[in-house]
Amino acid sequence: MIRLTALTLAMASAVGAAPLVKETLATGLRDPMEVAIAPDGDFYVVEREGRVLRINPNTGGIFVIGQIAVEALRSADPKSNYAREDGLLGIALDPDFAKNQRLFLFYSAPDVLACRLSRFTLKDGKIDPASELKLLEIPTERTNRVCHLGGSVEFGPDGLLYVSIGDNTNPFESAGVAPIDNRDGRTEWDAQRTAGNTNDLRGKIIRIKPTETGYEIPPGNLFPKGTEGTRPEIYVMGCRNPFRISIDPKTKSLYWGEVGPDARDAGDKGPRGHDEVNQAKAAGNFGWPFVIADNKPYPIVDFATKKPGKMTDPAAPENPGQRNTGLKTLPPAHPALIWYPYGKSEEFPAMGEGGRNAMAGPVFYYDPSKKYNILGKEDNRTLLTYEWMRGKIFKAKLDAQEKVEKLEVFMEKLVHPMDLEMDKDGSLVLLEYGSGWYFNVNGSVSRLRPDDGNKPPTLTIKPAAPNTYSVDKAADPEGGKLTVTWYLTEGVTERKLGTGSTVTVPEGSFEEIRAVATDDKGALAIARIPLAGDGELPSLVLELGKTKGKPGFGDALNYKVKAERLPDAGQIKVRARYIPPTGHDSGGPELSPEAAKLATANQCMACHQVDSGTVGPSYLDVAIRYSDRADASAYLKETLKTGGVGVWGDVPMPAQVALKPEDSDKLIAAILGLSAGMTETRGSLNGNIRLSPDFGAEPGGAWEISAEAPGYAPARTRIPAK
Q: Is residue 93 pLDDT above 60, yes or no?
A: yes
DSSP conformation letters of 284-348: EE--TTTEETTTEE-EEEETTTTEEEEEP-TTS-B---TT--S-SBPPPBPPPSEEE-SS--SS-
| Residues paired with residue 386 on neighbouring β-strands, in sequence order | 359, 393
Taking only Cα atoms into account, the Rg of the chain, rounded to an integer number of angstroms, comes to: 26
Reference 390, options 359, 357, 430, 429; nearest CA is 357
Distance from the Cα of residue 549 to its chain's centroid: 24
pLDDT in tens, 546-561: 888 899 999 999 999 9
184 HSE (CA, 13 A, CB side): 0
Q: Among 145-154, 578-587, 629-638, which is the least confidently predicted range?
A: 578-587
Cα(135)–Cα(118) distance, rounded to whole angstroms? 5
Q: Among 432-436, 470-474, 641-645, which is the least confidently predicted range?
A: 641-645
Q: Is residue 600 pLDDT above 90, yes or no?
A: no
pLDDT at 28: 92
Q: Give the largest CA-CA distance in the chain.
A: 79
Reference 560, options 396, 681, 389, 419; nearest CA is 681
Reference 475, options 525, 522, 515; nearest CA is 525
DSSP conformation letters of 240-273: SSEEEEEE-TTT--EEEEE-----SS-BTTBPPP
3-state secondary structure 683-710: CCCEEEEECCCCCCCCCCCEEEEEEECC
pLDDT at 2: 31
Mean pLDDT of 287-295: 98
Mean pLDDT of 389-405: 96
CB 55 within 8 A of CB 445: yes
CATH code reported for the domain at 460-530: 2.60.40.10
Reference 206, options 153, 257, 272; nearest CA is 153
Q: Is residue 130 pLDDT above 50, yes or no?
A: yes
Q: Is residue 441 pLDDT above 90, yes or no?
A: no
The pTM (predicted TM-score) of the whole model is 0.82
Cα(98)–Cα(618) distance, rounded to whole angstroms? 53
Q: Is residue 195 pLDDT above 90, yes or no?
A: yes
Give 713's DSSP letter.
B
pLDDT at 77: 84
pLDDT at 601: 64
Q: Is residue 534 pLDDT above 70, yes or no?
A: no
pLDDT in tens, 561-578: 998 788 888 889 999 999
pLDDT at 448: 97
Q: Is residue 518 pLDDT above 70, yes or no?
A: yes
SS3 at position 459: strand
| Residues paired with residue 678 on neighbouring β-strands, in sequence order | 577
Q: Which residue has the higher pLDDT, 95 or 264?
A: 95
In the chain, DSSP finds a helix count (H) and a strand count (E) of 5, 46
pLDDT in tens, 583-592: 655 556 777 7
Q: Among 89-93, 253-257, 662-666, which is the least confidently predicted range?
A: 662-666
Q: Among 165-174, 615-624, 712-721, which is the least confidently predicted range?
A: 615-624
Q: Is residue 281 pLDDT above 90, yes or no?
A: yes
Cα(120)–Cα(102) distance, rounded to whole angstroms? 6
List the strands of the sheet with 556-562, edge to edge: 541-544, 556-562, 686-690
Mean pLDDT of 608-622: 69
CB 587 within 8 A of CB 598: no
Distance from the Cα of residue 183 to its chain's centroid: 32
- Model confidence band, residue 15 (pLDDT cutoffs 50, 70, 90): very low
Q: Is residue 18 pLDDT above 70, yes or no?
A: no
Report phi then psi at 635, rounded to 5: -60, -45
- Model confidence band, residue 8 (pLDDT cutoffs 50, 70, 90): very low
Residue 135: left if φ>0, alpha if ψ -120 to 50, beta else—which one? alpha
Q: Which residue has the higher pLDDT, 452 or 411?
A: 411
SS3 at position 625: helix
Cα(118)–Cα(219) distance, rounded to whole angstroms? 22
Q: Is residue 32 pLDDT above 90, yes or no?
A: yes
Reference 273, options 251, 289, 249; nearest CA is 289
Per-residue burial over 73-107, b if 16 or more Cβ lie within 10 Å, else e, is beeeeeeebebbbbbbbbbbbbbebeeebbbbbbb
Cα(506)–Cα(486) distance, rounded to whole angstroms? 13
All structural domains of the chain with their residue ranges: 460-530, 541-720
Mean pLDDT of 55-64: 97
CB 90 within 8 A of CB 33: yes
pLDDT at 650: 47
Residue 549: left if φ>0, alpha if ψ -120 to 50, beta else—which one? left
pLDDT in tens, 661-708: 887 788 888 788 888 888 999 999 999 999 999 988 888 888 989 998
Look at the domain 541-720 and name its fold. Cytochrome Bc1 Complex; Chain D, domain 2 (1.10.760)
For the chain, the residue count is 722
pLDDT at 12: 35
SS3 at position 54: strand
Q: Is residue 474 pLDDT above 80, yes or no?
A: yes
Share of the chain above pLDDT 70, in %: 91
SS3 at position 669: helix
Cα(201)–Cα(233) distance, rounded to whole angstroms? 8
Give 594's DSSP letter.
H
Q: Is residue 269 pLDDT above 70, yes or no?
A: yes
Distances (CA, A) of 220 to 283, 332, 473, 506: 7, 16, 58, 59
pLDDT in tens, 112-126: 999 999 999 999 999
Q: Which residue has the higher pLDDT, 19 or 93?
A: 93
383 HSE (CA, 13 A, CB side): 30
In sequence order, what are the residues at sequence separation of 6 or more whose Cβ sits closer than 8 angstroms to the Cβ of residue 289?
Answer: 167, 178, 179, 180, 191, 192, 195, 196, 240, 298
Cα(66)–Cα(63) distance, rounded to whole angstroms? 9
Q: Is residue 3 pLDDT above 90, yes or no?
A: no
CB 439 within 8 A of CB 40: no
Mean pLDDT of the chain: 90
pLDDT at 714: 85
Q: Is residue 605 pLDDT above 70, yes or no?
A: no
CB 510 within 8 A of CB 496: no
Do the bridges between strand 338-340 and strand 153-155 make them parallel or antiparallel, or are there none, so unpaired?
unpaired
Cα(287)–Cα(281) distance, rounded to whole angstroms? 16
Report phi then psi at 619, rounded to 5: -60, -30
Q: Among 20-34, 376-390, 433-447, which is the least confidently predicted range?
A: 433-447
pLDDT at 648: 60
CB 429 within 8 A of CB 423: yes
pLDDT at 6: 30
CB 575 within 8 A of CB 678: yes
Q: Which residue has the higher pLDDT, 538 or 614?
A: 538
